[in-house]
Amino acid sequence: MSARMSFIRRMSFIRRMSFIRRMSFIRLKATAIAHPNIAFVKYWGNADPARHLPANPSISMNLDSLHTVTTVIFLEAQKTDQVIIDDVPASDASLRRVTAHMDRVRALAGTTLRARVVSRSNFPTGAGLASSASAFAALTLAATAALGLALPEDTLSALARLGSGSACRSIPPGFVEWTTGESHEMSFAHSIAPSGHWPLCDCIGIVSTVHKSVGSTEGHARAPSSPLHRSRVESAVTRVAACRAAILARDLPALGEIVEADTITMHAVTMTSRPPIYYWTPATLCIVRAVVAWRDEGLPMYYTVDAGPNVHCLCEEAHVAEVSRRLEELPGVEQVRVARPGGGARLISQH
């Protein structure tokens, strides 16, 4: 073999190896931001736990100042999914949950590529502030976009629901309704009013940032054991219709009455489940009593409490400063976060 032919073959081999090495570092990458939501009529209990098909419809509002940003990078050389949450490697349970959801996305895209997932939230997670809703909404959009899947909003919402039920409500913008549906494809959330429809304000009295001892998944599973569960589910359709009408009419007193009634019925179910779940703390009850007293004095505001101890206080813009000040002065309140109607999940360029 001539020296020239040997040289050409060596160069050809080097180019092939270089190509293979480059292929090993191909990146399919996307970043998405999503907001948590506060439910006015709450999702509690499943008709189909495996697919997170809810026992009752619900209505919520996305929270603009709270968000989760998630970047997903699919790598040829990645052997397993790697998940970083708030700068810390995910726990085994969280890793399994994220990997299971990534497997759903991979199945849609027809790939087995593994990924690196980095997620950060600017609010306490696992404390009843719907962190799983924003997390799985952002994860769903980022993962599908990274693999080139351009899914319509209803399909994206239904897919996010499989990761975390309430995540489906963080996909559309503004004020959102989640219908029950009898199949996976029919159970998704849609906007009933855009974020600019009504400048409603949510002043959140945070009394604990500690991860709750009983997660929402377990709470949903226990719900049917409560003797109050069936009646709550049966009456939810009426509350949803009244809630929708109040939002469209921008009627705070009407909305507030529904929201407080639904909060009480939901937590009555948690407290009468077997075994019972007590999400409220003394500080929670302190805020609830204060809201009722302040409203009696003429300050128009209403409370709602998700599956955790922190209290969301609804008011209009003119009263935000006063509501926030009063909440900050209550014993047990660590901080007050203010949020207004937020947009839907969306892709961003900053990774």
Provide the pLDDT for residue 27.
60
Provide the pLDDT for residue 23.
37
- Helix, strand, or coil here: 125? coil
Q: What is the identity of the amino acid at 138?
A: A
Q: What is the identity of the amino acid at 54?
A: P
What are the tens digits of pLDDT across the range 123-151? 988 777 879 999 999 999 999 999 999 99
CA 67 to chain centre: 9
pTM of the model: 0.90
- Helix, strand, or coil here: 158? helix
Least confident of 5-14, 21-30, 61-70, 277-286: 5-14
Whole-angstrom distance, CA of residue 43 vs CA of residue 57: 7
Q: Whose structure tokens read 């970047």?
A: 71
CA 350 to chain centre: 21
Among the listed residues 30, 58, 1, 36, the one whose alpha carbon sits nearest the alpha carbon of residue 247: 58
DSSP bridge pairs for 338: 203
Whole-angstrom distance, CA of residue 197 vs CA of residue 199: 7
What are the tens digits of pLDDT across the range 22-60? 334 446 999 999 999 999 999 999 999 999 999 999 999
Could you tell me the CA-to-CA distances from 227 to 96, 129, 218, 278 in Å, in that order?
33, 26, 17, 16
Among the listed residues 68, 28, 32, the one whose alpha carbon sits nearest the alpha carbon of residue 140: 32
What are the tens digits of pLDDT across the range 228-278? 999 999 999 999 999 999 999 999 999 999 999 999 999 999 999 999 999
In this prediction, residue 9 has a pLDDT band, given cuts at 50, 70 and 90, of: low
Among the listed residues 32, 317, 314, 62, the one whose alpha carbon sits nearest the alpha carbon of residue 174: 62
Q: If you ran DSSP here, which 8-state letter would residue 90 be given?
A: P
Q: In the Cβ-directed half-sphere of 12, how many Cα atoms lie within 13 Å?
A: 6
Whole-angstrom distance, CA of residue 50 vs CA of residue 47: 9
Cβ-based neighbour number of residue 301 at 10 Å: 23
Written as six digits, the tokens of 48 are 């189909």
- Helix, strand, or coil here: 277? coil
Whole-angstrom distance, CA of residue 207 vs CA of residue 286: 10
Torsion angle of the four alpha carbons 243, 165, 43, 183, in this order, in degrees rounded to the nearest 10: 80
Do residues 108 and 119 make contact, with C-beta atoms less than 8 angstroms apart?
A: no
Whole-angstrom distance, CA of residue 319 vs CA of residue 324: 9
pLDDT of 63 strictly over 80:
yes
